């Protein structure tokens, strides 16, 4: 599984790279802040919302600590998606947040 550190992702965000971020945390967690530009698809909703993802785009998955996003990456990579897990999750994120 491909991974990215929060520092590496922050550098990409700061460089205004075109990123496709997916936050798989629950609604209550996202209410405490989400990385700007990320879309929110709770992990449990992923199978029914998979049509919102484009197989031609590389996605970076985010959760609280890295476990759920890792599960999402395992699931989607098996379906042919280009996915990367953000190591450490939001616990390690030191960048801006949207509320």
Annotated active-site residue 63? The verdict is yes
List Cα–Cα distances, 39 to 8, 60, 63, in angstroms. 19, 11, 12
Does a structural domain hold residue 97? no
Please name the residue that has the structure tokens 């609604």. Answer: 27
The one-digit pLDDT tens for each residue of the chain (99 residues) are: 999 999 999 999 999 999 999 999 999 999 999 999 999 999 999 999 999 999 999 999 999 999 999 999 999 999 999 999 999 999 999 999 999
Name the burial class of residue 56, with classes exposed (0-12), middle (13-18) and buried (19+) by CB atoms within 10 angstroms of its CB.
exposed
Does a structural domain hold residue 62? yes
Does a structural domain hold residue 19? yes
Domain containing 56: what range?
2-92
Does a structural domain hold residue 12? yes
- Please state whether the predicted TM-score (pTM) of the whole model is above 0.95: yes
DSSP E strand boundaries for the chain: 2-4, 20-23, 39-40, 58-62, 82-86
Number of domains comprising the chain = 1
Does a structural domain hold residue 99? no
Catalytic residue among 63, 72, 76, 86: 63
Does a structural domain hold residue 83? yes
């Amino acid at each position: 599984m491909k991974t990215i550190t929060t520092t590496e992702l922050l550098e990409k965000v700061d460089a205004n790279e075109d990123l496709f971020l997916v936050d798989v945390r629950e609604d209550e967690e996202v209410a405490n802040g989400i990385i700007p530009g990320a879309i929110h698809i709770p992990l449990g909703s992923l199978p029914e919302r998979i049509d919102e993802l484009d197989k031609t785009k590389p996605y970076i998955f985010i959760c609280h600590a890295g476990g759920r996003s890792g599960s999402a990456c395992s699931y989607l990579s098996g379906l042919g998606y280009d996915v990367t897990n953000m190591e450490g999750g939001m616990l390690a994120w030191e960048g801006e947040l949207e509320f």
